[in-house]
Structure formats: structure tokens, C-alpha cells
Amino acid sequence: MDQPMQSEYGEYWDNLLKQERKLAIRDIIDSQLVTEDGLRIGRVASIECLLGDDTSLVLLHLLVGPEALASRISPRLRKWLHFFLHGRFEYKIPLSEVKSFGPTLLLRGPASHYGPGRSEQWIARTLFRWIPGSGYESSEN
């Protein structure tokens, strides 16, 4: 078995590290979205892209919600879910809203600016407020 020379190994590790540091879809998809005010509003289910006439592919929106997730499993499943949900729980967040990429995707705005955050607030306001000990009143004050 041919052993590579030391310099070749060095170059190999450099290339591997460089490749690992590059932004890739694996760093975006399924990542947790965290808003400016520290709230977790969901995970990236899919990404919407624009395929140009010159075959350039630009990432446009992060998609959050069950329909987007279903389309990753099967396009047929997405059609079924769309029939029942009509896209009510699918949210698009422009990629320009992402402040930093890392273990979590940090967004520029507070949770109230984004669809998933608003739906969670609605659940807290209309459902969880009636649960004893929810602390709803204290959070209002």
C-alpha cells in the first residue's frame, strides 16, 4: 500500500478542513431556527431555490412546516397534506433574515416577525393561558 508523503498528507488535511468549513446544505437543513429574542421557532424543513435560465441556482427561502417536511419524504405525501392543510402551516423565511449559521440558525428579527413564532404565540394566548400555572398573566405584566 502506497503511503503518501508528509507534504501530501498536509495538503490533504488542509483540503479536508477547508471543505468542512464551507457552508453546505447539511449546515442549513434540519437546523434549529432561533430568533433574536432567543426563542426557538422550528426547524428548517426545506429550502426554496430559484433556477435561473443560465442554470444558476440561488437559495431564496427557508421553509418551515409539516408540508415542506413531507415533500422531503415523498411528493405524494405532500400533496395529501396540502389537501388537508392548504399550506396553513407552511412558512417561508427569506435567507437574508439569517444572521449567522452554526449549530443553530440565528435570525435577525424577534419571533413575532416570523410565521412559526406567531403561531406559537397564538397557541400560548388562546390555549395555554387557561392551564393553571401557565404564568400567562405574569408575563403580561
**Binding positions for another protein, rule: CB under 8 A:** 4, 12, 16-17, 19-26, 28-29, 46-53, 55-60, 63, 68, 71-72, 95-96
CB of 81 to another protein, least distance (A): 14
- 53's CB contacts (< 8 A; 6+ apart) are none
User: Which residue's CB is nearer to another protein, number 39 or number 85?
Assistant: 85
Distance from C-alpha of 65 to C-alpha of 84, rounded to nearest angstrom = 14
User: Which residue's CB is nearer to another protein, number 8 or number 37?
Assistant: 8
CB of 34 to another protein, least distance (A): 19
CB of 29 to another protein, least distance (A): 7
CB of 75 to another protein, least distance (A): 8
User: Which residue's CB is nearer to another protein, number 57 or number 131?
Assistant: 57
Q: Under DSSP, is residue 45 helix (H, G, I), strand (E, B) or coil?
A: coil
- From residue 114, alpha-carbon distances to 45, 52, 121 in Å are 15, 27, 11
- From residue 122, alpha-carbon distances to 77, 111, 117, 126, 127 in Å are 27, 12, 9, 6, 8
User: Which residue's CB is nearer to another protein, number 109 or number 121?
Assistant: 109
